[in-house]
Structure 1
């Protein structure tokens, strides 16, 4: 295995860390956190994690980058978290998981619509297979659609996909490390969520030992560590490859529900989750050489080359090569 393949495999493993950790959110929320406090959970997942990373890095972004950081913070946290929880509370968990697993297809559509950049056909097919696998695993019986919940889930999937695409294209400015950039996004996103807490949350705020442990888990592993890993991989892997790892979130949630909560997991569900995992991993493979030559490697296997790989426009130097979640 050559150095390039080894490096890509490490990035995939690092990117997969985040969806797996996010898959623990359902168990943590249902077992440890007070009910009816979705915005409180969002706020305490983002703001403390951001402040922790800022305290560790102590880096200020260039003045020209504040606008980009605000956009990324809105897409990745300020808008995504509220839409995620709104969809999760108003939709059956299975349907929310299916909508979320469609992120690579949304990312591919955004790349083509905004930048006329193609995604390799094999990766699109694996993305469709991942959605099918999740659907087989989590959808059973009639599904009652809530229009507002469905709109929130679709919008949440779209804004997160857009955040992944722009994270990849914009890269990092000179003098700002990836951990610091993550810290600023989490902090700004948390401040955007703050006004929503009294408007949305209805349950009493309880901070006993289980709740404190749950919020700490959401903030540190689920916030600071997971998002630092996610954005690090997101600046280096093609956007559709990275988002193809998202089905690992409902897979992890289902395994934990079976192992920790005693929830049933039928053979058909296991097969569906197996297909989703297979598609997520197979979608990380580079496009075949013939396909890259036919379409141009910069337009297929690495369709969203980061702007930071070119000097100018504040890009700086090239960077180093569910239900809630």
Structure 2
């Protein structure tokens, strides 16, 4: 099912949900929890480097999705907050490593100097490693009032998401595809389902699992998450061309300079926008059984395709 333009207008008019307020409320909750999760101790330098990137701002979209789906499925914020923080720790690790000279080689992230520009490549690598390992420790030690089998499922999914079957695998194929003119849409989709989409999907699904969601709910939410994950990357590719470095908070135009395969390079800007919107429409269609309870997820999906950074 794909929503028409009239359907989207009707949906917007029928909803009085305030996404900006919702995101700000949840973001503040996440920011406070992240700050408290990582005190500075000896050796101070590594904790300072970890906190530098972890607390550098950003949309906090992944932890917010986790909190949102947990509440939608009848769970509580307290049940899902440790996993939400862990998701942001893992995401931050991926950004630190992605910015390294051996990867995408960027000097700025979220409007600030990248971690290796401040602390050096050696400490940046270690800070990413430390955040990744701490994410699993934090989930295991801090999660309360969750069925043990569900918690183990979430931990296993986190491991798969960040490994060769997920983020790492997507990054490897992305690096191998640089400068090649024969990259297909199927290969590009594979890269981004793993490099970007996997963590977004786990963010959505993990919150639901913690709340004890039924298999059919997990399936719907997985479909929702897969769609918004791919749309997110398409929009990222578009913004790399159309937005400024100041708007993005990172260097604009890097994909073209690195000769990366992107959706606009294969489809053009207009078709890329259409494809992203079609994915968002299908994502929203998956939420129909939840009625107004799914308003946050619907609004977040539309936010992804309309964002400017």
Fold shared per TM-score above 0.5: no
| TM, length-normalised to structure 1 | 0.31
| TM, length-normalised to structure 2 | 0.32
Higher relative contact order (Cα pairs below 8 Å, separated by 6+ residues): 1
